[in-house]
């Protein structure tokens, strides 16, 4: 199980960071990045408001009667309420760009939502009386949980990155890039502040110069709109019961692919070809001593048969189950039916020679004591913490209503060690 948790950790980082990048940048799912109307363009400005550059930018936009979108940092909005009021009063749109310019990869989804997005929206709402509903994460980086923000916020990235945070690029290339690369539906990323990590402090000065010259040459080539005009909010459809959305299907496919790799890598085999729900792996036990109900003690170095569930079959069971209790009953019944077969393997298969007992860790452990298993709390620590979140995440991924399942019968969703000695199996399940 420890190897699995390690692999889960590495896989989780990939799912948490890389998968959202593929979903948003490659497939464009869950985000807005380019409009569809002819001649329509959205100017967007990140990292402000800045007391030096934002007023100059507002003057320039007002000169050309252009409405834009400002994705502001909540901490700066808090310090510059007059600028936020001016942006709002002059008809521009205000979106959220986190409270501080911190990557979402370095935070939990809860922290992103509560301490950055909602907090910043509260600040802007107190100043303007209007709550922002559009969001752009710093550097356009999303973690997997950020897609849940779509219930309250529309996520907007961009179709044209002008690299104007670099003073040299803004001074020498920005005007040419804007004149040659902007097309129908472009969402242009610019910055009205240069004090964030990686930016040049004077870069907004050159951005303003280049934008002023470009607007003069654009004349009436484009209609400049706010992002809420380019991407009007629509009521999101609620998936029908039993249906998985795109993100969940993608997560499920990635999860099952990883599981198949893990099974091959660690030589995990089904108990029976006819019913492969239960799988086994022989290994040495290296945890703290476990005293079982029949007096047998499993100690470090003892050979055990580690129990695993076939997650491909578990997908079918969870999708058909009416509740977590119903799922538990089905799994316990299937396990009980397989125990005589497991005993036969322990008694007759050479690879299971000297196995002291069965061992597993599961969220679904209610009722296993009736089958002869000893149920033991996991020792507190990082392993217990990681195991709990791994198994709950698995439940969320596998079940179409996984979120609801985690909210109901929560007392069942605490992982515990379940173990039974070979001697107890012989006493109960003589083949």
Q: List residues with catalytic annotation.
A: 46, 191
Handedness of CA 199, 116, 405, 364 (dihedral sign): positive
Give the residue from 251, 315, 252 showing the smallest Cα distance to 16.
251
Give the residue from 237, 250, 228 showing the smallest Cα distance to 151.
237
Containing H/E element for 203? helix 203-218
81: tokens are: 């309420």
Give the residue from 271, 272, 124, 138 showing the smallest Cα distance to 193.
138
Q: Quick check: 404 and 324 in contact, CB under 8 A?
A: no
Phi, psi of 326 (to 5 degrees): -60, -40
Q: Report the residue count for the chain.
A: 431
Within 8 A by CB and 6+ apart from 425, the residues are 339, 342, 343, 346, 357, 358, 372
Residue with tokens 């950790």: 9
Q: Quick check: 416 and 374 in contact, CB under 8 A?
A: no
Q: How many helices (DSSP H) and strands (DSSP E) are in the chain?
A: 17, 16
d(CA 31, CA 20): 11
375: tokens are: 């149920």
CB-based burial of residue 99 (10 Å sphere; 0-12 exposed, 13-18 middle, 19+ buried)? buried
R_g of the chain, CA atoms, integer Å: 28
Residue 14 has what DSSP assignment?
I
């Amino acid at each position: 199980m420890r190897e699995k948790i390690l692999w889960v950790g590495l896989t989780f980082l990939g799912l948490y960071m890389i998968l959202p990048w593929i979903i948003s940048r490659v497939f464009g799912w869950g985000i807005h990045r380019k409009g569809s109307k002819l001649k329509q363009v959205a100017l967007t400005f990140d990292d402000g408001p800045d007391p030096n550059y934002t007023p100059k930018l507002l003057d320039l936009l007002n000169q050309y009667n252009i409405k834009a979108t400002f994705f502001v940092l909540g901490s700066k909005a808090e310090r510059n309420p007059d600028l936020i009021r001016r942006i709002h009063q002059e008809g521009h749109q205000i979106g959220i760009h986190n409270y501080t310019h911190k990557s979402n990869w370095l935070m939990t989804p809860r922290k992103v939502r509560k301490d950055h997005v909602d907090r910043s929206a509260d600040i802007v709402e107190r100043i303007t009386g209007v709550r922002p509903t559009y969001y752009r994460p710093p550097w356009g980086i999303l973690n997997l949980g950020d897609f849940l923000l779509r219930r309250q916020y529309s996520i907007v990235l961009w179709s044209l990155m002008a690299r104007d945070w670099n003073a040299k690029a803004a001074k020498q290339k920005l005007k040419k890039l804007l004149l040659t690369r902007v097309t129908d539906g472009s969402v242009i990323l610019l910055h009205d502040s240069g004090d964030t990590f990686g930016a040049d402090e004077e870069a907004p000065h050159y951005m303003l110069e280049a934008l002023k010259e470009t607007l003069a040459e654009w004349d009436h080539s484009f209609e400049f709109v706010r992002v809420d005009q380019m991407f009007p909010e629509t009521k999101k459809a609620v998936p029908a019961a039993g249906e998985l959305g795109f993100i969940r299907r993608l997560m499920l496919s990635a999860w099952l692919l990883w599981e198949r790799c893990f099974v091959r890598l660690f030589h995990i085999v089904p108990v029976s070809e006819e019913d492969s729900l239960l799988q086994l792996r022989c290994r040495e036990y290296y945890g703290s001593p476990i005293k079982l109900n029949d007096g047998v003690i499993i100690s470090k170095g003892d050979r055990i048969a580690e129990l695993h569930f076939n997650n491909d079959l578990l997908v079918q069971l969870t999708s058909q189950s009416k509740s977590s209790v119903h799922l538990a009953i089905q799994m316990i019944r299937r396990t009980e039916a397989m125990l005589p077969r497991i005993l036969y393997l322990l008694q007759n298969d050479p690879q299971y020679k000297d196995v002291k007992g069965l061992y597993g860790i599961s969220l679904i452990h209610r009722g296993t004591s009736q089958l002869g298993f000893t149920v033991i709390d996991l020792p507190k620590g990082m392993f217990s913490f990681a195991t709990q979140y791994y198994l709950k995440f698995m439940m969320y991924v596998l079940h179409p209503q996984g979120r609801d399942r985690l909210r109901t019968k929560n007392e069942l969703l605490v992982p515990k060690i379940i173990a039974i000695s070979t001697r107890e199996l012989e006493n109960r399940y003589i083949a």
